[in-house]
Structure 1
Amino acid sequence: MSALSLIVVGANGRVGRLLIPAFRALGAAVGLTQRDSRALTPDMAEVTWAPLDGPAPLAAFIAARGGPPKAMLVLAGSTPGTGADMAVNIAVAQACTAAARAVGIGRILLASSSAIYGHGRATPWRETEAVAPASAYGHAKLEMERRCAGPDVCALRIGNVAGADALLTNPRRPLVLDQFPDGNGPIRSYIGPQSLARVLVTLAETPLTLPPVLNIGAPLPVDMADLARAAGIPFDWHPAPPGATARLTLDLGHLETLVTFQDRDSTAAAMIAQWRHCQTQPEPPS
């Protein structure tokens, strides 16, 4: 039995469900935990494991596979708008980090967030800059990074994932988008789910040492209005209110030294195409 490149903790959320078919398309050897029974795919190894219950089930799974995967990706945790305690992100990440160490997984990829940067500005945020989160979610992710820091732990400050964010999952029609004085909508760092899957597998498998923090997105930011247009979603403009964030973008220079992107990876059309390709997993019950 071949060793896994990556084991994904928390694959039943919106991002995880988009990544499952994307990993499959890559032919990547990926294991999954905490999956919804309706999303089962027989070609992927899986283990039922709740990180806060200790590492024993994970250890048994690893032993049955003949050895640990190259890396663990931690997607599990609380997200904004659910009413859940954001501190769960810290506890789950700490438990996953400890379990990975216990079972011999050398590399840990923690799903953090661009919410850590706190506010928008004209220039992209670099990983090395001081941050001031503006939300409980951002504060929790920053504390998660601090408490889990260690050898070969890389916190992934992920921008918006096309198809997993409020823009494309919002059932309202038409959508209402803020329009700023320059005529544009909100500008954000996005990435398509297939591009994200390729990034994650590359980071899991690279022999290079990863930094403690890494911004994740496609190289060029995108206007949310362009994504709506590419998806054929009707929208109305609303004058951006005072304090609305026109730009919140990430500097992807470090990521581009580790992963090769194509120009199309940054286009709204390609991101929408990737999202549609990956819409094969049912949404979890609300």
Structure 2
Amino acid sequence: MPATLLPQNDRHRPAPVVAVVGAGGFLGTRVMRALSGAGVEALAFTSAAPAVHGTRLDPALHHCDMVFYLASRITPAIAQREPERAVQEVTSFRTFLDALRENPRRPVVTLTASGGTVYDPGCEPPYDEHSPEGPSNAYGRAKLEQEKALAAASDWLAPAVLRLSNVYGPGQHTTAGYGVIGYWMRALLAGEKLRILGDGGSSRDYVHVDDAANALLAVVGRADALRAADRPTVLNIGAGEPTSLDDLHKHLEATVGRPVPVEREPARPFDRRDVWLDIGRAAEVLGWRPEIGLAEGLADTWRYHLSQERRPNGR
């Protein structure tokens, strides 16, 4: 990425004020690193330093030109098991959007949404941004409700939505429900068998966290175009190709250099069969494409887990 994201003839313009809500999370930490590496200063908001106090916006957000909203406390399993938490996720986002009325700059607000759960499973993938929507679980419904809330706030902000596929990489939670790659690597280090849900033929679109962070970074350089758009900008962000669970297992065996035993269990009723995304529009609008292939990304993630395991105090 370039040291600055301003075009050559715009270098006299002041740098945008960027805020990251959810800066302490898996993706948020990588976004903060990407912004810093590009010379973009960003305000970090976390659960310990929230963006909204009650219903009042943190004063620093009054002056932001761009906001990345990455905060989330649910997974598909959590949303299905505790639907009230999915409702709270949407309510918290609406409270945040209402508080942003205090910002007079009409900031570009980018929501990270779900490319894996908002599209109608009755349609064949790959899904592009015009594919029919039809969430089949509580998680997808909550994410689509957030998108609709963002679009409804267009009078006082410029909405952008990045529908992420299955993001993985160093720093991801390794407990069940937060992504199969991190969960499998934790199981490997613990000497456990890997669990494959269903017949192993179901496919997902795995995108490395650094590629996802660079997609958000690319938004900074397109802020003027996004603000001028006459409708919310919605973009798919993924690898753009499917990988079945059985193929992922083979990739992981190649990564660790040995056979890895598995045990098979029935698929969960709320899981989708096949999901992958058409990412062509992100290339057109943001000039972004993923750069980290699955083999490279798995090796990077495995090195991270090994380094964590070797630390004197463990994790």
TM-score tier after normalising by the smaller chain length = 0.7 to 0.9
Asked if 1 retains the 8 angstrom alpha-carbon contact of 2:211 and 2:290, the reply is: no
Paired residue type of 2:180: L
How far apart are 1:143 and its partner, in Å? Answer: 1.4
**Relative to 1, partners in 2 of residues 1:25 and 1:175: Cα closer, same or farther, differing over 3 Å?**
farther
What whole-Å deviation, never above 9, does each CA across 1:8-65 have from its counterpart, x for those lacking one? 11223333244444444444422210166xxxxxxxxxxx2243623342x2x247xx
Q: TM-score, normalised by structure 2?
A: 0.68
2:270 corresponds to 1:269: no
**Secondary structure of 2:85's aligned partner:** coil
**Relative to 1, partners in 2 of residues 1:126 and 1:205: Cα closer, same or farther, differing over 3 Å?**
same
Identify unmatched segments of 5+ residues in structure 2. Answer: 1-13, 173-177, 309-315
Paired residue type of 1:126: D
Asked if 2 retains the 8 angstrom alpha-carbon contact of 1:228 and 1:235, the reply is: no
Asked if 2 retains the 8 angstrom alpha-carbon contact of 1:113 and 1:138, the reply is: yes
- Tell me how far apart the structure 2 counterparts of residues 230 and 118 of structure 1 sit (CA, whole Å): 34
How far apart are 1:198 and its partner, in Å? Answer: 1.1
2:19 corresponds to 1:7: yes
Moved runs in structure 1, 4+ residues, more than 6 A? 276-281
For residues 99-138 of structure 1, what are the structure 2 equivalents within 5 Å? 99-103=99-103, 104-114=105-115, 115-117=117-119, 119=121, 122-138=124-140
Residue 162 of structure 1 corresponds to which residue in structure 2?
168
Alignment root-mean-square deviation, CA: 3.4
Residue 252 of structure 2 corresponds to which residue in structure 1?
228
- Tell me how far apart the structure 2 counterparts of residues 270 and 260 of structure 1 sit (CA, whole Å): 22
Alignment length (residue pairs): 259
In the alignment, which of 206, 210, 216 is matched to residue 194 of structure 1? 210
**Relative to 1, partners in 2 of residues 1:14 and 1:242: Cα closer, same or farther, differing over 3 Å?**
closer
Asked if 2 retains the 8 angstrom alpha-carbon contact of 1:124 and 1:251, the reply is: yes
Asked if 2 retains the 8 angstrom alpha-carbon contact of 1:72 and 1:105, the reply is: no
- Tell me how far apart the structure 1 counterparts of residues 18 and 261 of structure 2 sit (CA, whole Å): 39
Asked if 1 retains the 8 angstrom alpha-carbon contact of 2:19 and 2:61, the reply is: no
How far apart are 1:254 and its partner, in Å? Answer: 1.0
In the alignment, which of 232, 243, 249 is matched to residue 276 of structure 2? 249
**Secondary structure of 2:118's aligned partner:** helix
- Tell me how far apart the structure 2 counterparts of residues 218 and 12 of structure 1 sit (CA, whole Å): 24
% identical aligned pairs? 22
**Relative to 1, partners in 2 of residues 1:98 and 1:28: Cα closer, same or farther, differing over 3 Å?**
same
- Tell me how far apart the structure 2 counterparts of residues 252 and 240 of structure 1 sit (CA, whole Å): 31
How far apart are 1:86 and its partner, in Å? Answer: 0.3
Which gives a bigger RCO, structure 1 or 2 (Cα 8 Å, sep 6+)? 1
Identify unmatched segments of 5+ residues in structure 1. Answer: 37-47, 282-286
Computing the radius of gyration from Cα coordinates, the structure with the larger value is 2
